[in-house]
């Protein structure tokens, strides 16, 4: 391949190799731009399923435009091969970077890098794409400290239910970073990515994966992933805080509903840790100077010269930046808490201008109210997908006028039992994918909000009618009408099949 031409690119050198293909460094023949070209292995070109998976990677990447995701320039399919032409980043894979450049990263440095990656995954998840092969080697850190997500080769496009490239019962991804549901061959969703991200953060902080594949068999690793918590971080890095341990424990919980439900939620937990550490720094006593410099003290056994005038008293050097820096950090933290109110503190809700609560109270134009309804709907369905009624109840009014055709539903009695019955008897997982472009919004004279929109409901039934359908995801297209009161609490829900 060296010296060959793919579209307007000349292949210069080979820079990597994976299970499906090789990656080459190439130069554009007219523009002064480099690119990374991923070529499907020649012996796989005639494999229909592999070709489809390669196209799937191109489709996933083409739909993602984010500063923390490698950009796809072009895709070429010929009888001789399949080629992905991608953005080239000068840098190192994150595992190599930690191993050869920095060693285990301190918490603040790890969080600064990792939250950028979480932004990229949150963007992909919002567009219905999960990665399913997250690991440090699939995160590239550039020479300018930018971080990019690589390799969507086994990404799953959630709304593309007909491709069937990954069947229930098959295992995808790299073993050390697999979630328990992936190990079991069950369906993977964005919470599987959250688990793999937790394991990746573990490795960034300790310099090693949680399991030693050199001394453990694949079966041993599978068993530990399903049954045992990750080793304690301080076993490998004593400098890691207990708060960070708690964050990774939640991200890598065995049950998906016990993890962070979104990448954004994961990011907020890490940012809260930084804020806590900044606050703790302010409570530490800061030396202010003014004492005698120990290096200038008279040695204890040396007599002082009798006729020498005493030296003038020295003032403290004006080089202590810690106190003003601490004040700046404190003001920044306080500003963030006041304006965004991430902890949902009630006294701040009226002045936290960037919080959802403030926007709900102060939305005045039709567009502002529509955007507030959209945010509330997304949070509402995220809560429903968490399979925890306490997450759902704040979104409903106490009495619901209409719920799927049932009148005057009591939230605590009727609705709670309906959700419990559904989770216990009908579905194991469910997803609501809203077509925001279809959404129609209106407001009545009393200030109630109505949203009508199309969405796709995906679920796994507890019991399939046919044995071969057990564990498979089903999909139903629906149109929903959701009404909210002035406080944006739901009091009317009507769904119809499209």
Catalytic residue ranges: 133
Tell me the β-bridge partners of 477. Answer: 456
Using left for φ > 0, alpha for ψ between -120 and 50, and beta otherwise, residue 152 falls in alpha
CB contact set of 172 (below 8 Å; sequence gap of 6+): 132, 133, 154, 166, 182, 188
| Residues 111 and 260: beta-carbon distance below 8 Å | no
Residue ranges of alpha helices (H) inside 228-365 are: 242-251, 263-283, 322-340, 356-362
Tell me the β-bridge partners of 451. Answer: 441, 482
Angle between helices 242-251 and 190-206 (to 10 degrees): 150
Of the candidates 102, 77, 82, which has an alpha carbon nearest to the alpha carbon of residue 92? 102
The Cα-based distances of 346 to 116, 176, 394, 436, 485 in angstroms read 29, 42, 14, 30, 20
Torsion of the alpha carbons at 98, 101, 103 and 105, rounded to the nearest 10? -70
Of the candidates 329, 376, 384, which has an alpha carbon nearest to the alpha carbon of residue 487? 376
Q: Which residue has the tokens 């490698």?
A: 70
| Residues 471 and 169: beta-carbon distance below 8 Å | yes
3-state SS, one letter per residue, for 274-290: HHHHHHHHHHCCCCCCC
| Residues 80 and 31: beta-carbon distance below 8 Å | no
Residue 40's φ and ψ, nearest 5 degrees, are: -65, 140
């Amino acid at each position: 391949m060296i010296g060959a031409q793919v579209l307007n690119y000349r292949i210069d050198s080979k820079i990597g190799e994976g299970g499906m293909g090789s990656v080459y460094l190439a130069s554009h023949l007219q523009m002064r731009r480099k690119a990374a070209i991923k070529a499907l292995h020649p012996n796989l070109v005639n494999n229909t399923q592999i070709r489809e998976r390669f196209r799937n990677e191109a489709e996933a990447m083409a739909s993602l435009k984010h500063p923390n995701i490698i950009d796809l320039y072009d895709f070429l399919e010929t009888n001789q091969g399949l080629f992905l032409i991608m953005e080239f980043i000068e840098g190192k894979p994150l595992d190599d970077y930690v191993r050869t450049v920095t060693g285990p990263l301190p918490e603040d440095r790890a969080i600064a890098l990792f939250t950028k990656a979480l932004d990229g995954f949150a963007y992909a998840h919002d567009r219905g794409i999960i990665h399913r092969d997250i690991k440090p080697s699939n995160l590239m850190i550039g020479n300018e400290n930018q971080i990019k997500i690589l390799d969507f080769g086994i990404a799953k496009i959630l709304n593309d239910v007909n491709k069937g490239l990954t069947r229930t019962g098959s295992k995808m991804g790299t073993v050390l970073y697999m979630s328990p549901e992936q190990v079991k061959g069950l369906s993977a969703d964005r919470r599987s990515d959250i688990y793999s991200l937790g394991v990746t953060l573990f490795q960034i902080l300790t310099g090693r994966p949680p399991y030693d594949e050199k001394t453990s068999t694949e079966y041993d690793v599978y068993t530990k992933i399903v049954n045992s918590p990750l080793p304690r971080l301080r076993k490998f890095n004593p400098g890691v805080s207990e708060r960070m341990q708690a964050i990774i424990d939640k991200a890598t919980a065995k049950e998906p509903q016990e993890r962070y439900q979104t990448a954004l939620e994961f990011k907020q937990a890490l940012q809260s840790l930084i804020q806590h550490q900044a606050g703790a720094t302010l409570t530490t006593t800061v030396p202010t100077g003014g004492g005698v410099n120990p290096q200038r003290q008279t040695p204890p056994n040396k007599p002082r010269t009798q006729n020498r005038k005493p030296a003038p008293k020295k003032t403290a050097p004006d080089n202590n930046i810690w106190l003003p820096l601490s004040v700046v950090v404190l003001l920044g933290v306080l500003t963030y808490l006041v304006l965004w109110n991430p902890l949902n503190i009630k006294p701040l809700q009226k002045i936290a201008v960037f919080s959802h609560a403030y926007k709900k109270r102060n939305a005045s134009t039709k567009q502002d109210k529509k955007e507030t309804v959209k945010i509330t709907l997304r949070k509402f369905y995220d809560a429903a997908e968490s399979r925890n009624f306490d997450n759902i109840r704040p979104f409903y009014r106490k009495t619901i006028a209409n719920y799927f055709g049932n009148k005057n539903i009591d939230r605590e009695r009727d609705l709670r039992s309906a959700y419990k019955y559904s989770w216990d008897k009908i579905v194991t997982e469910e997803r609501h994918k809203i077509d925001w472009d279809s959404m129609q919004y209106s407001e009545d004279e009393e200030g109630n909000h109505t949203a009508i929109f199309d969405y796709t409901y995906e679920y796994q039934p507890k019991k399939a009618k046919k044995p071969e359908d057990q564990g498979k995801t089903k999909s139903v297209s629906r149109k929903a009408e959701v009404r909210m009161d002035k406080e944006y609490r739901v009091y009317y829900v009507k769904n119809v099949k499209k």
